[in-house]
Amino acid sequence: MSDRVVNLQHKARILSQIRAFFSHRGVLEADVPCLDSHGVTDPFLTNFECDWQGQTRYLQTSPEFALKRLLSEGFGDCYYLGKAFRNEARSTQHSPEFMILEWYRIGMTPEQLMNEIAELITCVLGIDKTDSMSYADAFMKYANIDIWQATREQLIKIFPGECHFDLTLETDSDLLQMLFSILVEPQIGQEFPCFIYDFPLDQAALAQANEDGLTAQRFELYYKGFELANGYGELTDPEEQARRFGQDNNRRLRLGKKLIEPDVRLVQALKTGLPNCSGVALGVDRLCMLALGLEDINLIQFN
Amino acid sequence: MANFSTNEFKAGLKVMIDDEPCNILENEYVKPGKGQAFNRVKIRKLISGKVLEKTFKSGDSVPGADVLDTELSYLYNDGEFYHFMNNETFEQVAADAKAVGDNAKWLVENTDCTITLFNGSPIVVTPPNFVELEITETDPGLKGDTAGTGGKPATLATGAVVRVPLFVQTGEIIKVDTRSGEYVSRAGK
């Protein structure tokens, strides 16, 4: 038997472990479409598009919209464990087809959800604890930058090495995100998985704003150089949701990317009423890689 | 030459960056779940030898560099140029001191070196990993000394100075690692 087959047997056990974890908590597995009528407006995500009987269909980059629609119709706490697709380059940590675990917990705050994630991953990875730190604190600790005070010039100045593009044309948000990936991310979660919470509001995506007016209820989980999970205190305001769809398409326009018709069914679902909830998406292949100490995603996928 | 996108960057690929031929050493793809994708690329500028870290937007492309590695035999130095010859075609190439750089001290006549040509002109001369050279000067060692006692400096026929064990004498031929500049053994052993 090849190493890969042995890895896939381990993966199967982790999938059972995940399903048992949720079954034990009364969270139902949701069957939602991988192939759907709408794509995602996020300017940095790209759907695979395919033709169905003369109409465009989109392989889903995550089950987020479908799960939220299900929640608004009263399905209750739910998770999806299955395939998602992103039309982007391959690397040792990226595959265009991958397994995603996404779940939603009604009435939970992001803090409570982070605790639940910690319970799941400490159990799968066989480790004792997780750490956590706010986005601003992490920047201060590892890059000595006060993100609320730093000027553009200061951010450009600390950018390591040279760039093959004009850094001064980047938005503040993109600049900060690149600096986070280069300067901060490699240093966090080396010993224990580390939650980074309270992302700046302009990196909120589908998260609710915090009361400070600066940050959003978004968090990410990092461990040993992997971005493992991304979660939100979910946005429930339909008008704000519609506004963010518009913002996304404006960014797409500026970046010369194709505009995507927003999925009005999501806005409609929020109008019907998305219960207050927190949700998170986790890369299952990466979790398995960490559990087995593998360095290439190719070793945990069959192709 | 063809263009290469960041997706095609891999170690060993020669591309033009800032109008200079460069060798790609490492390419790391960075794609946060939310946020734009970029590549952190480690390159060596072939003419200056400088190694640097360069960030690219994923999907950007750069032209390939017309760079060719060729094995040529070293002939002689005329004071200004170092002359090399292709032993099959007898074609000769002259490299200037800039291309040879510090490696001049490892050039042994009739030894094959790797000459990197850019648009047909030599820009880098790499000697073989090991060369054999005669010691022209070193202090006489004491009888009974063995290797590994710190050694002594020895000047070689090309002017290179390496540390050798005390028992090695003037007139002997030794094998040297050109990458580290260290003594390996007496020749023929």
Q: Please, what is the end-to-end C-alpha distance for chain A in angstroms? A: 16
pLDDT averaged over chain A? 96
How near does any CA of chain A get to the CA of B67, in Å? 21
Q: Is the model's pLDDT at B149 over the cut of 90?
A: no
pLDDT at residue A54, as a whole number: 97
Q: Which residues of B touch A206 (CB under 8 A)?
A: none
Q: Looking at the partner chain, which of B34, B37, B54 has a beta carbon nearest the beta carbon of A203?
A: B34
Enumerate chain A positions whose Cβ falls within 8 A of a Cβ in B: 42-44, 88-89, 91, 94, 159-165, 174, 177-178, 180-182, 203, 205, 220, 227, 230, 281
In sequence order, the 6+-apart residues with CB closer than 8 A to the CB of A189 are A131, A221, A222, A223, A224, A225
Contact A165 B35 (CB under 8 A): no
CATH class given for the domain over B3-63: mainly beta
Tokens of A178: 């690149």
Q: Looking at the partner chain, which of B31, B32, B52 has a beta carbon nearest the beta carbon of A161?
A: B52
Q: Which residues of B touch A89 (CB under 8 A)?
A: 6-7, 29, 31, 37, 58
Residue B172: pLDDT band (50, 70, 90) is very high
pLDDT at residue A1, as a whole number: 85
Contact A91 B34 (CB under 8 A): no
Report the percentage of chain A scoring pLDDT > 70. Answer: 100
Contact B55 A164 (CB under 8 A): yes
pLDDT at residue B144, as a whole number: 58
Total CB pairs under 8 A between chain A and B: 71
How near does any CA of chain A get to the CA of B40, in Å? 9
Query: Which domains, ranges and CATH numbers included, belong to chain A?
Result: 3-130+192-300 (3.30.930.10)
Q: Is the model's pLDDT at B146 over the cut of 70?
A: no
Residue B151: pLDDT band (50, 70, 90) is confident
Instruction: Work out the burial of residue A80: count CB atoms within 10 Å of its CB; fewer than 13 is exposed, 13-18 middle, 19 or more buried.
Output: buried
pLDDT in tens, B73-101: 999 999 999 999 999 999 999 999 989 99
pTM: 0.85
DSSP letter for each residue of chain A: --HHHHHHHHHHHHHHHHHHHHHHTTPEEP---SEES-----TT---EEEEETTEEEEE-S-SHHHHHHHHHTT--SEEEEEEEE--S---SS--SEEEEEEEEEET--HHHHHHHHHHHHHHHHT-S--EEEEHHHHHHHHH---TTT--HHHHHHT--SEESS-GGGS-HHHHHHHHIIIIIGGGSSSSS-EEEEEEEGGG-TTBPBPTTSSEEEEEEEEETTEEEEEEEEB---HHHHHHHHHHHHHHHHHTTPPP----HHHHHHHHHHPPSEEEEEEEHHHHHHHHHT-S-GGGGS--
Q: Is the model's pLDDT at B140 over the cut of 90?
A: no
Nearest residue in chain B measured CA to CA from A173: B35
Does domain B130-186 sit in CATH 2.40.50.140?
A: yes
Contact A165 B56 (CB under 8 A): yes
Mean pLDDT of all residues in A165-193: 94
Asked if the domains at B67-126 and B130-186 fall in one CATH topology, the answer is yes
- Is residue B157 within 8 Å of B134, Cβ to Cβ? yes
Q: Is the model's pLDDT at B150 over the cut of 80?
A: no
Q: For residue A213, report the phi and psi dihedrals to the nearest 5 degrees.
A: 75, 0
Contact A162 B40 (CB under 8 A): no
How near does any CA of chain B get to the CA of A182, in Å? 9
SS3 B101: helix
pLDDT in tens, A87-114: 999 999 999 999 999 999 999 999 999 9
B167 vs A269, which has greater pLDDT?
A269
B147 vs B134, which has greater pLDDT?
B134
Mean pLDDT of all residues in B168-178: 94
Contact A227 B55 (CB under 8 A): no
CATH fold, domain B67-126, is OB fold (Dihydrolipoamide Acetyltransferase, E2P) (2.40.50)
Mean pLDDT of all residues in B120-128: 93
Give the residue extent of every domain in chain B.
3-63, 67-126, 130-186
Contact A162 B55 (CB under 8 A): yes
pLDDT at residue A72, as a whole number: 98
pLDDT at residue B147, as a whole number: 53
Q: Is the model's pLDDT at B1 over the cut of 80?
A: no
Residue A70: pLDDT band (50, 70, 90) is very high
pLDDT at residue A154, as a whole number: 93
Q: Looking at the partner chain, which of B34, B37, B60 has a beta carbon nearest the beta carbon of A164?
A: B60
Residue A259: pLDDT band (50, 70, 90) is very high
